Amino acid sequence: MARPTGKPNYGRVVLVSCLALLAAGLVADFLWASSHRFSSVGMSLPSSVTTVIGQLPPNSNGKDTEKKKDKVRERKLSATFQDLAAPQLKWEKMAAAPVPRLDGAAIQIRNFLYVFAGYGTIDIVHSHVDIYNFVDNTWGGRFDMPKEMAHSHLGMVTDGRYIYIVTGQYGPQCRGPTAKTFVLDTDTNSWSDFVPLPVPRYAPATQLWRGRLHVMGGSKENRHTPGLEHWSIGVKDGKAMEKEWRSEIPIPRGGPHRACAVVDDRLFVIGGQEGDFMAKPGSPIFKCSRRMEVVFSDVYMLDEEMKWKVMPSMPKPDSHIEFAWKVVNNSIVIVGGTTEKHPETKKMVLVGEIFQFNLNTMKWYVIGKLPYRVKTTLVGYWEGQLYFTSGQRDKGPDDPAPRKVMADMWRTKLILNP
Ligand SMILES: *[C@@H]1O[C@H](CO)[C@@H](O)[C@H](O)[C@H]1NC(C)=O
């Protein structure tokens, strides 16, 4: 194969520059983390954030380095922080949800999308269920959640009739999680109490697998520290078959906001992050303050061997996707999310793509562009159409930072790679 001549050491220069930039970036992160705080979820940072990453590495002294640095920066940005090339899709706007929702939860049963809880604003949380009917494309059937049930960052899964609702954050701002756990019978819309989790968890991965309810990862009580624990309990028809949760093999990497799906008797845990906003120490309203988070693209799988296996990574790091997925034709489809923070502004960066993990080929694809970048979407699928609602969208096409909490519902024809 012919190689371009004249810059034989290009790769090496890039590597060295990368390392220098990385070091500068880490210093910037540290400075930023210890001196600036968000006042609330998704609100903007003070504009005085120092951007160290744009400065020259200490050993640089010429124009060439300057040019190369720009190149490195471009490459770095395009690898994780910028939008990926994706097919344009035709989106149809459907009836908006009765309320806007951030960090809510959703479960589809037949033609119904049950949409739970969530923040309306950072100071107001919902404590009810809204239902979307894919047959006539209307919202309705609102009913209340139990008073003690968490309002966001829930673990949730269904067997097709009963919905198991595990732990989650209780209250607005950055309050901590509860260990309380509930079951909803969707035939009667009646609630019952369930065995509390051994300790409260914030946004854990939750699934039903082989007759057991599994709960893994998430954050510990302070919202930030990743939990590695994994518990399960035998369940049948909305009831626990055992008195206590059992400890299972810990998850390789802890943290909240991951997609978790069971397909063909294998359990997948996809994406997520380590770290999250925390309550400001001493704040009577548990005011949210930003902490460093690391978003990852890791995919782990459990099969009958009960050992975690590493699967091909997502096309980019992606978090805030716990109810943003559907399984269609042996593929896991994931809508939006958040990726690593912007290296210069340090603001959260939202994801504007749809991903497909094809389990026939074990390959990831970017299969479409969303109408806007958005995190914590609530996703459904009905008769060839992929639907999403809720979440927090970007500031606009040129600014991927989070802004408005949404109620909109959209759909598009789902086109998968076979
Ligand atoms: C799923 O598979 C069925 C049967 O092969 C096919 O008709 C349908 O178009 C597929 N759906 C999608 C979204 O690819």
Residue-wise pLDDT for 90-115, tens only, equals 999 999 999 999 999 999 999 999 99
Q: Which atom of ligand 1 is nearest to the CA of 329?
A: 1
Could you read off the pLDDT of 185-198 as tens digits, one per residue? 999 999 999 999 99
- Percent of the residues in the chain that have a pLDDT greater than 70, as a whole number: 81
Which residue has its alpha carbon closest to ligand 1 atom 3?
329
> 79-88, 142-151, 152-161, 305-314: lowest mean pLDDT where?
79-88
Ligand 1 centroid, distance to 155 Cα (angstroms): 29
Q: Which atom of ligand 1 is nearest to the CA of 328?
A: 13
* Whole-number pLDDT of residue 308: 98
Q: Are residues 131 and 273 in the same domain?
A: yes
Report the residue among 263, 329, 413 best suited for mutation to probe ligand 1: largest number of ligand atoms under 8 A from its CB: 329
Which residue has its alpha carbon closest to ligand 1 atom 6?
329
Q: Are residues 235 and 310 in the same domain?
A: yes
Q: Which atom of ligand 1 is nearest to the CA of 414?
A: 13
Indicate whether 12 pLDDT > 80.
no
* Whole-number pLDDT of residue 344: 84
In a domain, 3, yes or no: no
* Whole-number pLDDT of residue 14: 41
> 11-25, 59-73, 170-184, 301-315: lowest mean pLDDT where?
11-25
Domain boundary pick from 52, 78, 104: 78
Q: Are residues 74 and 96 in the same domain?
A: no
The count of other CB atoms within 10 Å of the CB of residue 297 is 20
Question: Range of 15's domain?
Answer: 10-78
CATH code of residue 337: 2.120.10.80
Ligand 1 centroid, distance to 329 Cα (angstroms): 6
Q: Are residues 32 and 115 in the same domain?
A: no
In a domain, 112, yes or no: yes
Domain boundary pick from 46, 78, 110: 78
- Helical pair 10-35 and 63-76, crossing angle rounded to 10 deg: 70
pLDDT band at 300 (very low <50, low <70, confident <90, very high): very high
Q: Cα separation of 47 and 288, whole Å?
A: 18
pLDDT band at 147 (very low <50, low <70, confident <90, very high): very high
Which residue has its alpha carbon closest to ligand 1 atom 4?
329
Top-confidence residue, 52 or 205: 205
Ligand 1 centroid, distance to 416 Cα (angstroms): 8
Q: Are residues 53 and 182 in the same domain?
A: no
* Whole-number pLDDT of residue 73: 55
Which residue has its alpha carbon closest to ligand 1 atom 14?
416
Q: Are residues 110 and 230 in the same domain?
A: yes
In a domain, 165, yes or no: yes
pLDDT band at 166 (very low <50, low <70, confident <90, very high): very high
Indicate whether 316 pLDDT > 80.
yes
Q: Are residues 65 and 182 in the same domain?
A: no
Specify whether the backbone of 302 is left (phi greater than 0), alpha (psi in -120 to 50) or beta. Answer: beta
Domain boundary pick from 78, 100, 118: 78
Q: What is the mean pLDDT of residues 248-252?
A: 97
In a domain, 212, yes or no: yes
Ligand 1 centroid, distance to 162 Cα (angstroms): 27
In a domain, 86, yes or no: no
Q: Are residues 123 and 61 in the same domain?
A: no
In a domain, 4, yes or no: no
Q: Are residues 192 and 59 in the same domain?
A: no
Which residue has its alpha carbon closest to ligand 1 atom 2?
329
Q: What is the mean pLDDT of residues 242-268?
A: 98
Q: Are residues 100 and 41 in the same domain?
A: no
- Residue at 282: amino acid letter: G
In a domain, 59, yes or no: yes
Q: Which atom of ligand 1 is nearest to the CA of 384?
A: 13
* Whole-number pLDDT of residue 50: 26
Q: Are residues 65 and 131 in the same domain?
A: no
Q: Are residues 66 and 207 in the same domain?
A: no
* Whole-number pLDDT of residue 345: 85
- Residue at 350: amino acid letter: L
Q: Which residues line ligand 1 (CB under 6 A)?
A: 328-329, 384, 414, 416
Counting the structural domains of the chain, the total is: 2
* Whole-number pLDDT of residue 13: 41
